[in-house]
Structure 1
């Protein structure tokens, strides 16, 4: 049976070699027998530019390029600076932040999910600033060591702030979910970001729908499997 897989929020980094190892096993086994793989952001815990000489990035680019199936990537809030240079080296296809596709007759909307957290006003303001083209170009123009320092400061500050936020603030806004699914004319939404894996049954203006939330790969792996017959949120041991 053919199927397509969706993953997100692996947060790969040098400090978590076990997750990297689990991802490589996933590529060598699960990803060998599918039609396509979609990575919905935050594949990396941090990305300061395609010119970062981190050996981990080269190793992962090589591993991804060995895939014999199409691999698509949309940006997360941690790796939104990942560019065409790395995509070319890895043999992956960059897709828009909000992307509609048809898989086995089912129309899906996929996204990272951070833009759905409308109640987190502080984060949304930050996102609007750092996603500006001129801000990104300015950041990428400064030396690598300065970028690393800035990224470290931002990560530490983000951790402190998020520890004091209510869970409801960092979760998706239900009305926004309804509006965006209606706007794209879909009954299935797949996203990550919140690290709260679940399948939510919805009703979009009188029609049944569902929102599938991918988990991170901290304690266990998480993926959504779409086949001709069904769509499942699957967790597995790392």
Structure 2
């Protein structure tokens, strides 16, 4: 049996190839897994759990059917879907996890996270993140009519796109010292995350022992899946068909 990890699909009605690849993955691979972990940014932007659009319903049903078949699904919210909440969890059966979660992978202790909090050089983003995670602001947003939410999100998406165009690739990547700090805090030598869209397996030489950081890829031009079993792991791609 395998444990599967995905992130940064950025699903949207405007990207049918990605959606088709995701649905194929859910039907053909996820149903054979021991568990599925989604490490954030499943959606291009999740407006709120009151999204009853045809597209949102289709994606939620995929998770509902998978969980009903006996495959547990776990979700860590990313910077694009931080508004996924308890209603989504109840409707799908997906279990929401903390920002940094420790799991056991066949006897191997690992910390999993979306990865945005590792990018400490991106000061403007971290300030934005702190603001949108304020409980009172989310409480107010969740009680806003859906059509107004759509306008708010449209403005946020425009601002995010403009902001990214002015930043260097270095700023938007993880800060090595923060990676080591998080791993030391949780006493692990394995980290799995997404967010940076730079799939790779990094070896970190520390004073104690070698550590490993696995970065999941995005689903812009192909799928990206980390397949983990008792014999090891493999970071794989899935073609769009």
How far is 1:17 from its partner?
1.4
Partners of 1:231 and 1:85 in 2: CA distance? 33
C-alpha separation in 1, matches of 2:87 and 2:188: 32
Displacement, 1:206? Answer: 2.5
**C-alpha deviation, 1:225, in angstroms:** 1.2
The Cα offsets for residues 76-108 of structure 1, whole Å up to 9 and x where unpaired, read as: 001111111111111111111100000111111
Residue 192 of structure 2 corresponds to which residue in structure 1? Answer: 190
Please give the residue correspondences for 1:216-227 in structure 2 after superposition, counting only pairs within 5 Å: 216-227=218-229
| Alpha-carbon separation, structure 2, partners of 1:26 and 1:107 | 26
Q: What is the number of residues matched between the two proteins? A: 237
- Residues 2, 34 of structure 2: 8 Å contact kept: yes
CA distance in 2, matches of 1:5, 1:204: 27
Secondary structure of the residue aligned to 2:49 is coil
CA distance in 2, matches of 1:143, 1:33: 40
Q: How far apart, CA to CA, are the structure 1 residues paired with 2:131 and 2:171?
A: 20
Alignment of 1:57-136 (within 5 A): 57-67=56-66, 68=69, 69-136=71-138
What TM-score results when the alignment is normalised by the length of structure 2? 0.96
- Are 1:24 and 2:23 counterparts? yes
2:21 and 2:239 in contact (8 A); partners too: no
Aligned position for 1:33: 32
In structure 2, what is the equivalent of residue 203 of structure 1?
A: 205
Does the 8 Å contact 1:48/1:140 carry over to 2? no
CA RMSD for the aligned pairs?
0.9
TM-score by length of 1: 0.97
Distance, in Å, in 1 between the alignment partners of 2:221 and 2:48 is 28
Partner Cα distance (1:225, 1:25) in 2: 16
Equivalents in 2 of 1:13, 1:204: separation in Å? Answer: 40
2:167 to 162, 165, 168: 165
SS state at 2:171 partner: helix
Check conservation: 1:76, 1:112, Cα contact below 8 A.
yes
Name structure 2 gaps, 5 residues minimum: none
> How many Å separate the matches in 2 of 1:188 and 1:220?
25
Is the contact between residue 31 and residue 37 of structure 1 (CA under 8 Å) also seen in structure 2? yes
Post-superposition Cα deviations, 1:134-188, rounded to whole Å, max 9, x if no partner, equal: 1111111111111111111111111111111000000000000001101101111
For the pair 1:151 / 2:153, whether they are aligned, the reply is yes
